[in-house]
């Protein structure tokens, strides 16, 4: 795989949009044109010589740390097209910092914030024709940090690969969001890796998630491993409850991912005049909440239609008048340039 030739660069600059039915986009991989790859070697002791290459399969040693021991992290962020065709990234420096935090926990080197953002920008620009038209989706960007050195023993790798690819996406959850409380399997434990985006955090919940979906539920709501009585988060989203003028969300104390959308929604809600608090939330509290909603890069902000716990189901307010919908409109307005970004959250790609 090589870097872009002059002819290739001309080709993607000429193509305004890819041949995609934007209105049918879900949250699934659509192969785009390019990905970005940068390596860290034991000899260099730094990430260097990052390059754009054609999107495609990669090779690695069967004994690599990512394959054998799951030493890896990923991030997720989005690029949005504005009405004037400009393209915005949303808080990419937050993703870069979170990757660094995760890398420290996983005993891995990480790209600098500047290297991370530069790689994301180059990946988005190289796949510009795959950024959906304004209001019809976004380009989901997935940075990966993987241990790719040869490593038979249980120890940190010597070599690492930072790779960024992208895919146009639509809604993560189509239809109502109905949660089932999982009171047997725990997503994370104190002292573990629940607070970072380690690749090993996700597949262990596939079994209960698959079982829940077979019963008609959209996702799971996990409880804390210590008491089994406090809510934590979904399989890939943070959760909030509304009572009166108070919005509450579980504290990120190492078992809950500090979501960037979560952080942004807390700031927006506070600006709306709501009291926003982070605290332990007992499962029984969700049954007298006025609204419940989830946040995440993939789903943005979405109202929860119902929560089922030990056979008891409670429904919640939905529709245009919900706080969740107002928060969604404000956040996506900022992300797409429709609302002035007074907080410096967006980055224009040029």
Q: How far apart are CA 28 and CA 55, in angstroms?
A: 16
Instruction: Report the sign of the C-alpha dihedral through residues 80, 232, 26, 327, in that order.
Output: negative
Residue 350's pLDDT is: 79
Residue 332's pLDDT is: 97
* Domains of the chain with bracketed CATH: 6-169 (3.30.470.10), 177-336 (3.20.10.10)
Residues of the chain with pLDDT under 50: 1-2
SS3 100: helix
Contacts of 126 (CB under 8 A, 6+ apart): 4, 12, 33, 34, 36, 52
Strand partners, 143: 164
Residue listed under structure tokens 């239609």: 305
| Catalytic sites, residue numbers | 197
What are the CA-CA distances from residue 224 to residues 228, 256, 257 (Å)?
A: 5, 9, 13
Dihedrals φ, ψ of 244, to 5°? 65, -125
**E strand or H helix at 13:** helix 6-14
Rounded to the nearest angstrom, the gap between the alpha carbon of residue 227 and the centroid of all alpha carbons in its chain is 27
Neighbouring C-beta atoms of residue 236, cutoff 10 Å? 19
CA angle 264, 197, 99 (to 5 degrees): 75
The Cβ-side half-sphere exposure at 7, using a 13 Å CA radius, reads: 0
pLDDT tens, 197-208? 999 999 999 999
For helices 92-105 and 260-271, give the axis angle rounded to 10 degrees.
130
Rounded to the nearest angstrom, the gap between the alpha carbon of residue 181 and the centroid of all alpha carbons in its chain is 22
Q: Which stretches of 96-156 are assigned E, i.e. beta strand?
A: 138-147
SS3 51: strand
Residue 4's pLDDT is: 59
What is the layout of strands, in order, in the sheet containing 231-234?
Answer: 231-234, 219-223, 178-182, 306-309, 312-315
Q: How far apart are CA 149 and CA 164, in angstroms?
A: 18
Q: How far apart are CA 86 and CA 348, in angstroms?
A: 7
Q: How far apart are CA 199 and CA 94, in angstroms?
A: 19
Question: Is-contact 161 148, C-beta < 8 A?
Answer: yes
Question: Is-contact 218 179, C-beta < 8 A?
Answer: yes
For helices 260-271 and 323-335, give the axis angle rounded to 10 degrees.
110
Question: Is-contact 315 256, C-beta < 8 A?
Answer: no
pLDDT tens, 185-242? 999 999 999 999 999 999 999 999 999 999 999 999 999 999 999 999 999 999 999 9
What are the residue ranges of helices labelled H in 215-259?
none
Structure tokens at 308: 């089922």
Q: How far apart are CA 228 and CA 321, in angstroms?
A: 33
Pairing of strands 246-249, 238-243: antiparallel
């Amino acid at each position: 795989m090589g870097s872009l030739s002059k002819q290739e660069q001309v080709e993607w600059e000429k193509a305004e949009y890819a041949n995609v039915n934007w209105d049918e986009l879900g949250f699934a991989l659509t192969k785009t044109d390019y990905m970005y790859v940068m390596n860290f070697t034991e000899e260099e002791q730094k990430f260097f010589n990052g390059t754009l290459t054609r999107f495609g399969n990669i090779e690695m040693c069967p004994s690599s740390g990512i394959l054998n021991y799951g030493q890896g992290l990923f991030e997720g962020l989005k690029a949005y097209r504005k009405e004037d065709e400009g393209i915005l990234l949303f808080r990419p420096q937050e993703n870069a910092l979170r990757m660094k935090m995760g890398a420290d926990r996983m005993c891995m080197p990480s790209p600098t914030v500047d290297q991370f953002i530069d790689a994301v920008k180059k990946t988005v620009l190289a796949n510009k024709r795959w950024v959906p038209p304004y209001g019809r989706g976004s380009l989901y960007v997935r940075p990966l940090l993987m241990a790719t050195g040869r490593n038979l023993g249980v120890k940190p790798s010597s070599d690492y690969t930072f790779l960024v690819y992208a895919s146009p996406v639509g809604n993560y959850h189509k239809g109502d969001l109905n949660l089932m409380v999982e009171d047997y399997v725990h997503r994370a434990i104190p002292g573990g890796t629940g607070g970072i985006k380690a690749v090993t955090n996700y597949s262990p919940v596939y079994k209960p998630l698959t079982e829940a979906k077979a019963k008609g539920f959209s996702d799971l709501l996990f409880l804390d491993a210590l008491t089994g009585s406090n809510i934590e988060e979904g399989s890939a989203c943070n959760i909030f409850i509304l009572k009166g003028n108070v919005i509450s969300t579980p504290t990120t104390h190492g078992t809950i991912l500090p979501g960037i959308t979560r952080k942004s929604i807390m700031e927006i809600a506070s600006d709306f005049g709501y009291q926003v608090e982070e605290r332990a939330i007992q499962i029984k509290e969700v049954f007298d909440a006025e609204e419940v909603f989830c946040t995440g890069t993939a789903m943005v902000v979405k109202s929860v239609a119902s929560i089922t716990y030990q056979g008891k189901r409670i429904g919640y307010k939905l529709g245009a008048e919900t706080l969740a919908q107002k928060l969604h409109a404000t956040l996506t307005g900022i992300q797409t340039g429709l609302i002035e970004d007074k907080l410096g959250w967006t980055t224009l790609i040029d």
